[in-house]
Structure 1
Amino acid sequence: MKKILAILLAGMMTATALVGCGGGDASSKTDNGSKADNGSSDGAAKIEGSIVDDSYFGDEGTDSKPVTLKVWAPDAAVSLVKEQVEAFKKAYPKRKFKEISVVAQGEKDAATNILNDATTAADVFSFPSDQLNKLVDAGVISQVAFKDAVTEANDEGTVKAGTLNGTLYAYPETNDNGYYLVYDKSVVSDEQAQTLEGVLEACKKAGKKFIMNAGDGYYACTFAFTAGVKIDGLEKDGITQKFVKYDEDEAVATLQAFAKLIKDYRGTFQSLDVANIASGFAGGKCGAGIDGSWDTASNQKALGDNFGAAKLPTINVNGTDKQLISIFGYKYIGVNGSSKFPATAQILAHYLAGEECQLQRTEKLGWGPSNKKVQENKAVTGSPVLKAIGEQAKNACIQVNVANTFWDPMANLGNKIIADTCNPSDAAAMKKLLNETISNVRDEG
């Protein structure tokens, strides 16, 4: 990785610090052999909102060195990000931009694709908070060049989750990376939406589907978390998933309750990709589902005035209603450490993560902002979806420091619980499944 604005910042801002998630030298050597400062500061940077002084481009964007960048954005945001990139280019009329392409790339696969070949990956990319460790550990993500401005503008939780060993590595983009219950109000009443039993009964009565992607570990971990099997970061080795203590009998009983309820509503409960929720609403086949803010616009369009949103419901376990526990995190914009235009990539990432762009994504896509000023906007305070996600966030495990081995065992747990062969009354089999899941997450099995 090259030094970032080293001359302009007179040594106050340098290239990426490569620090492994398990510890290590906070001033690791960069590719050119220079020392990278741990935790960059804006120094004397002139920053107004999402705009930094033109001089920070250095020799990038000149006639002799026109800028070529690639940006990865999720499918739903590609069109808007293209518009934002054009606005960015207009904000710096003195600079030469040969091309800034915006390419669709799923956020959950961003880290994997960058690790495959950072030199051909995007210069600027979006990713969820749980991928930060592997990006830093592999040394493929640059530290944030405008730390002070970013820290001041965004809420503390997102800044903290984007920081490792005192270094901020990513520009906060959202504060809403979680899921909630979305439902057709003509099918499910607001009261019925409070319990999973009520939701399923309403959908069955109307001949509609309830959709949850139980075969995806991102959603299936809800079964384990609700049972009390919650994660608590990583062990000291920086690799192995740590779990909080839990009551095994209660955990088994909770998983049995899920299995029985799903079996009782076989045909109504459908384990499908979340993309089927909006299309199901539009086609009149879906009554409710578990979805995220990234699909807000499509779900609202499909349901119109019948659009309903609430935190996840409860499930009754041996006579007690238990709140469903989900996973909740944040989304970030990162800068590829192998970018040939590191200064421009940093400036663009800062712009795309800034107040104006976050507000646009909130208004047009329904995303929840990390920017403190945007959080006070009526587009946020008046959003039933962001309210629902905010309430669910109080009943969630934070999606930070999640082991690579976490997702597949959780997906297997979900698939086993919803399988036709699952016997909800077999406590011994459920206990075995639970123990195998945890063992596999910890990579001991």
Structure 2
Amino acid sequence: MKTWKKMMITAASLTLAGSVLAACSSGKDSKSADTASDSKTIKVWVPTDTKTSYQDIIKKFEKESGYKVEIIESVNADAQEKVKKDPSAAADVFSLPHDQLGQLVESGVIQEIPENYTKEIADTQTDQAIVGAQYKGKTYAFPYGVESQVLLYNKNKLTPEDVTNYETITTKATFGAPFKDINSYSEGPLFLSVGDTLFGPNGEDPKGTNWGNEAGVSVLKWIADQKNNKGFVNLDPNNVMSKFADGTVAAIETGPWDYKNAQKAIGAENLGVAVYPTITIGGNTVQQKAFLGVKLYAVNQAPAKGDTKRIAASYKLASYLTNQESQENQFKTNFVVPSNKTAQAADNVQADELAKAVIKMGSSTEYTVVMPKLSQMGTFWNESKAIMSDTYNGKIKESDYLAKLQQFDKDIANAK
């Protein structure tokens, strides 16, 4: 049974909104600040191609709040750049990938959300989704979905039992991935699978990366050894799906974004979905991990120009856009896997093989690590890609693996 809580604009939320604005104001008196916003319209940026799917929930919000909502589609990946460029001209409420959260908080664009919404999130969202909405222990945004890569495989070549282990996959059939031109998003978590950390255990310590050790060296050795693995096929990033289609590879690791293409490639009836397999690295069998992405809505107070009622209404709108009812609808219309625990347990979600795999991957730290939110991730993508690709391509000697990784640790610790 669907539940939908009517969120009241409490005195606490108004007080918090006002106090935050007071803290970051430019010296204007309270009267001018409170009257600076002359609009009863809240602007919201929703992900591309989703405007129609939000219309019903927004109508409910408008009826309850007395505010009108202007819905604009926007590319999630551009949220940080667009909001930081001119916060006052940006949306009051906007969607974003969670890895942009840290920079938005550090730049002062978004503030800690009111306590009543923090409690609501803690009560209704999965643990990993809550981590994605937090920065340095405080909650700054509202989760509405989770995303993780999974294993896709050809059921004519591999069984559900086969795909639980990487060595079995590559013994009985073939696994493919681009290793000459490695994608750090896909392969970087191999280091996390063996116990190393990226920006510390919580992903928020710029000096907390420790890949320069024997565990890290074992990952590079494993990457180099795949050239000698008859069951591993190096792929071009542009031909992954075509090689899956023609049978060159029987299993690949990718995300929900490739699911429909994979169905077309080998037929929906032949496509299997599973969580990541276990994998043996350095003589130890470990659970292979992936990065977890959390989809968020955040509030930008700047367009309200000090209007605490509009700010409170914006938080209320963010809550509506991410509540159980909205998440259930986003799953049906846009296949956004819910982060709400009750929505995840719904029959139609549990009946979907892909959704179940993503939920299991995102259910605990056993399978995923929430992608760090620090700006130093820009350096991480480039430098980790170079080390892993050069290792596979034989450009780094095995005797130099440790030194390369130790230098990598220093480089990202010193990055800005």
Shift of 1:410: 4.5
Aligned alpha-carbon RMSD (Å):
4.2
8 Å Cα contact 1:217-1:410 kept in structure 2:
yes
Structure-to-structure mapping, 1:89-128, within 5 angstroms: 89=59, 92-93=62-63, 95=66, 97=68, 99-103=70-74, 105-107=75-77, 109-128=78-97
8 Å Cα contact 1:181-1:309 kept in structure 2:
yes
Question: Alpha-carbon deviations, 1:361-419, whole Å to 9, x = none?
Answer: 23344433222221221233333334433444443463265432235335433344334
Unaligned runs of 5+ in 2: 1-8, 305-309
Give 1:168's aligned residue. Answer: 139
1:412 alignment partner AA = E
Shift of 1:355: 0.8
1:292 paired with 2:255, answer: yes
Q: Secondary structure at the match of 1:289?
A: strand
Question: Alpha-carbon deviations, 1:145-173, whole Å to 9, x = none?
Answer: 55144443333543354244664311121
1:312 paired with 2:312, answer: no
Give 2:156's aligned residue. Answer: 186
Shift of 1:433: 2.4
| Distance of aligned partners of 1:137 and 1:444 in 2 relative to their CA distance in 1, 3 Å threshold | closer
User: Match for 2:43 among 63, 69, 82?
Assistant: 69
| Distance of aligned partners of 1:241 and 1:139 in 2 relative to their CA distance in 1, 3 Å threshold | same
Q: Secondary structure at the match of 2:401?
A: helix
8 Å Cα contact 2:97-2:293 kept in structure 1:
yes
8 Å Cα contact 1:72-1:122 kept in structure 2:
no
User: Match for 1:268 among 211, 233, 247?
Assistant: 233
Shift of 1:100: 1.9
8 Å Cα contact 2:344-2:359 kept in structure 1:
no
8 Å Cα contact 1:195-1:315 kept in structure 2:
yes
Give 2:3's aligned residue. Answer: none
8 Å Cα contact 2:165-2:279 kept in structure 1:
yes
8 Å Cα contact 2:170-2:231 kept in structure 1:
no
8 Å Cα contact 1:123-1:345 kept in structure 2:
yes
Give 2:307's aligned residue. Answer: none
Q: Secondary structure at the match of 1:28?
A: helix
Q: Secondary structure at the match of 1:327?
A: strand
1:89 alignment partner AA = K
Give 1:28's aligned residue. Answer: 23
Question: Alpha-carbon deviations, 1:288-319, whole Å to 9, x = none?
Answer: 32222455455456541222122222333355
User: Match for 2:108 among 134, 139, 142?
Assistant: 139
Name the structure where helix makes up a greater proportion of residues: 2
Matches of 2:180 and 2:26 in 1, distance apart? Answer: 42
Shift of 1:140: 0.8
8 Å Cα contact 2:220-2:391 kept in structure 1:
no
Give 1:403's aligned residue. Answer: 374
Give 2:214's aligned residue. Answer: 249
Shift of 1:96: 6.6
Unaligned runs of 5+ in 1: 1-7, 20-25, 36-57
| Distance of aligned partners of 1:65 and 1:31 in 2 relative to their CA distance in 1, 3 Å threshold | same
Q: Secondary structure at the match of 1:369?
A: coil
| Distance of aligned partners of 1:191 and 1:165 in 2 relative to their CA distance in 1, 3 Å threshold | closer
Normalised TM-score (structure 2): 0.76
Percent pairwise identity: 20
Question: Alpha-carbon deviations, 1:121-143, whole Å to 9, x = none?
Answer: 44322233333222111111244
